[in-house]
Amino acid sequence: MPSDTQLNAIRTKVENGQRLSFEDGFYLDQHADLFTLGELANIVRERKNGQVTYYNVNEHLNPTNVCVYRCTFCAFRADLKSEKGFVMSDEQILHRAEECHSRGATELHIVGGLHHKLPYEWYLNIVKMIHEAYPEIHIKAWTAVEWDWFSRMTGRPTKELLAEMKDAGLGSLPGGGAEIFHPDIRTQICDYKADGEQWIRVHREAHELGLRSNATMLYGHIEKIEHRLDHLIRLRNLQDETGGFQTFIPLAFHPDNTRLSHIPKPSGLMDLRTMALSRLMLDNFPHIKAYWVMLGIKIAQTALSYGADDLDGTVVHETIYHAAGSDSPQELGVDEIKRLIKEAGRVPVERDTLYHEVIRENGTSWKQGRKLQLV
């Protein structure tokens, strides 16, 4: 093999725990083969999380799909008057929370459309109602795009709304709505909604209020490597400032039923390379998630050797990806998740949203264990 001085210098940086620059990331993308990327990412993965792979038992709730925005990559949204549009009633929402509770889920992940007519109080009430009925369920709700919309609707600052919702039972923020921050791409795929700076600001404010959050990146559409690196570095900068991010989730674009349906979906190779590069660039993020719903089970399992240390959860009632053509099953049982993790040579550990160990007394009742060590 020819010697590659630049690649060797990057390898030394990774081995010594030093930060990679934009140029390093670009070089890796252009010159490193899949195995090298995976090997380097695995060094960071095992340094931070050893052999452990986390999973959680959660459910998704999308209370409405009606949305004022028209992101070109979205197959989930519906117009106000469309037959496809739905708004769940309070009874339906509580019924779903009851189902989540009786299955022993520790988390409810709630996101939806930005409805033209529903007031902010409708969104607030969802959190209030579920928290009052099932206080032990962690509510991870509303993306930064939704928080920005609540602020536009009410004229109140996002930080005030975050604080109000935290008092009502909000536990943390999911990582959605990030897409690609770079304006050259963002204006083409999701113009008008919260921009990159606003997304970052909402997460900064959440962290300042003591709320943890996740971050995502939607890849494999019209963006290029420089936009992905720019996105990762913006996230890394905020994490340096606040330390409030828990997990990064790279989201592979699913083209079916979207206005970008002419673009082929990212290959398994791109999925693994993006996973590995994310792990390498985000040196201050404790966790990288392989979201099996979008990657498919086989790539998600393989990703556990390419930087990922979290498989997300049992995920019941996911609709955003299934609308866009994901052929993953609607649910993975806990035994199957554990089997996939062990087969990949890792140790499965059930976590709650804030990365405490979950101790199960039987299938459905559980208690919180120790806080898992984050490096």
Binding residues for [4Fe-4S] cluster: 67, 71, 74
> Which residue positions form the known binding site?
67, 71, 73-74, 179
Helix axes 144-154, 120-133, angle to 10 degrees: 120
DSSP for residue 1:
-
Alpha carbon distance 290, 242 (integer Å): 24
CB of 226 to ligand V47, least distance (A): 19
Check binding of 175 to ligand V47 (CB under 6 A). yes
Check binding of 311 to ligand V47 (CB under 6 A). no
For ligand SF4, the binding residue among 54, 76, 120, 248 (CB under 6 A) is 76
Residue 77 contacts which entry, ligand V47, ligand SF4, none (Cβ below 5-8 A, type-dependent): ligand SF4
- x/- mask, ligand SF4, residues 257-296, rule CB under 6 A, reads ----------------------------------------
Token digits of residue 134: 């099932």
* Burial class of residue 343 (count of CB atoms within 10 Å of its CB; 0-12, 13-18, 19+): exposed
Q: Looking at beta carbons only, is 43 or 372 nearer to ligand V47? A: 372
CB of 73 to ligand SF4, least distance (A): 7
Size of the site for ligand V47 (CB under 6 A): 21
DSSP, residue by residue, 246-313: EEEEEEE---TTSTTTTSPPPPHHHHHHHHHHHHHH-TT-SEEB--HHHH-HHHHHHHTTTT--EEEE
Alpha carbon distance 62, 109 (integer Å): 8
Q: Which stretch binds ligand SF4 (CB under 6 A): 64-72, 125-133, 252-260, 351-359?
A: 64-72
Q: Looking at beta carbons only, is 175 or 244 nearer to ligand V47? A: 175
Check binding of 190 to ligand SF4 (CB under 6 A). yes
Binders of ligand V47 in range 322-361 (CB under 6 A): 324
DSSP, residue by residue, 304-350: TTTT--EEEE--BS--HHHHTT--S-S---HHHHHHHHHHTT-EEEE
> Which residue positions form the known binding site for S-adenosyl-L-methionine?
73, 179
Residue 69 contacts which entry, ligand V47, ligand SF4, none (Cβ below 5-8 A, type-dependent): ligand SF4
Residue 27, helix vs strand vs coil? helix
For ligand SF4, the binding residue among 113, 255, 266, 307 (CB under 6 A) is 113
Q: Are 263 and 75 in contact (CB under 8 A)?
A: no
Nearest to 44 by CA among 338, 305, 271, 246: 305
3-state secondary structure 38-103: HHHHHHHHHHHHCCEEEEECEEEECCECECCCCCCCCCCCECCCCCCCCECCHHHHHHHHHHHHHC
Nearest to 129 by CA among 91, 102, 103, 174: 91
Residue 67 contacts which entry, ligand V47, ligand SF4, none (Cβ below 5-8 A, type-dependent): ligand SF4
Residue nearest to ligand V47 (CB): 176
Q: Looking at beta carbons only, is 26 or 69 nearer to ligand SF4? A: 69
- x/- mask, ligand V47, residues 69-108, rule CB under 6 A, reads ----xxx---------------------------------
Using CB under 6 A, list all residues that contact ligand SF4: 67, 69-71, 74, 76-77, 113-114, 145, 190, 193
Using CB under 6 A, list all residues that contact ligand V47: 73-75, 143, 174-177, 179, 214, 216, 218, 249, 251, 253-254, 258, 291, 312, 320, 324
